[in-house]
């Protein structure tokens, strides 16, 4: 992963733009990372509906008010793309940004969901190939995970989204970078191909404030591993069902951790002691 140019040791003023984010652990992660690096960090939750502002208004105000950078979460990861310079050409195909660094040259966009998912997958499953995977949700998180799985050598992806044109758009974008990857789209899960080994929830379903599960347990029996992008709560109904069936679980907390580590690198221009950060975050 390439890092941003080294920043000076001035205090970092950071924020998170998103809806339904009051339970987010992201502010705590970056404050701890700052403490571990003897760096002053402030971190604000910027919620457009509560501010009675549009996403664009909140984004522009943050830039005017001297924020060093922002994390972007649901449902704004795709909306921010036209407002930034993309740090990596692959992000043009991914079509989503979750980390923005404000610089003298303008805002620069990164996707640490994309890099963080790959790190989380490899930390859990090592070099085991993803094989054939069902992804529920093709928004910002789903796009990052789909490209991450393609990079990791997935043989086929099945995209499920009630907004079928959105899934079809992701299919077209994947074809640009991975022309041999088999991709199918569907509005809902019915009969799953028996070859599917991985199941991914890339929707907010199961998050605090949303509830439910994106996939009935009856559809999970033939899979080998599951991943849930939701990490609040840590044990979602989706993951509980998977655990009861003995499936290997990649927790959304792991994505949260690695995307945060990578975002900190962009914000600060440096690294963080990952073991110390993990231990501090897991303390009650």
State the catalytic residues. 77
Strand partners, 69: 14, 101
166 touches 96 (CB < 8 A): no
Q: What is the CB neighbour count within 10 angstroms for residue 88?
A: 14
Residue recorded with tokens 């859990």: 124
What angle is formed at CA 11 by the lines to CA 115 and CA 232, rounded to 5 degrees? 45
Which tokens in the block code for residue 263?
């975002």
Handedness of CA 73, 79, 83, 89 (dihedral sign): positive
Distance, in Å, from the CA atom of 16 to the CA atom of 99, rounded to the nearest integer, reads 9
Q: Which of 159, 200, 206, 207 has the alpha carbon at shortest distance from 181?
A: 159
């Amino acid at each position: 992963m390439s890092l941003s140019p080294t920043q000076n040791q001035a205090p970092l003023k950071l924020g998170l733009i998103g809806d339904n984010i009051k339970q987010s652990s992201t502010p705590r992660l970056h404050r701890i990372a700052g403490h571990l690096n003897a760096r002053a960090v402030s971190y604000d939750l910027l919620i457009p509906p509560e501010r009675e502002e549009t996403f664009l208004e909140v984004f522009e105000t943050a830039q005017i008010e001297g924020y060093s950078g922002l994390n972007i979460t649901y449902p704004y990861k795709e909306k921010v793309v036209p407002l930034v310079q993309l740090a990596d050409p692959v992000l043009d195909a991914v079509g989503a940004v979750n980390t923005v660094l404000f610089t003298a040259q303008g805002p620069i966009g990164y996707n640490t969901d994309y890099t963080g998912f790959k790190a989380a997958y490899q930390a859990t499953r090592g070099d085991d190939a993803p094989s054939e995977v069902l992804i529920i949700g093709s928004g910002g998180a789903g796009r990052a995970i789909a490209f991450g799985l393609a990079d990791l050598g997935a043989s086929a992806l099945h995209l499920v989204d009630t907004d079928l044109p959105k899934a079809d758009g992701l299919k077209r974008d994947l074809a640009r970078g991975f022309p041999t990857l088999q991709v199918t789209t569907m509005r809902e899960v019915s009969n799953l191909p028996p070859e599917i080994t991985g199941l991914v929830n890339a929707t907010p379903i199961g998050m605090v404030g949303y509830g439910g599960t994106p996939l009935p347990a009856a559809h999970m029996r033939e899979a080998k591993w599951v991943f849930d992008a939701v990490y609040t709560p840590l044990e979602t109904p989706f993951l509980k069902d998977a655990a009861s069936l003995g499936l290997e679980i990649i927790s959304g907390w792991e994505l949260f951790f690695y995307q945060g580590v990578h975002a900190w690198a962009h914000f600060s221009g440096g690294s963080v002691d990952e073991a110390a950060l993990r231990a501090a975050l897991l303390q009650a």
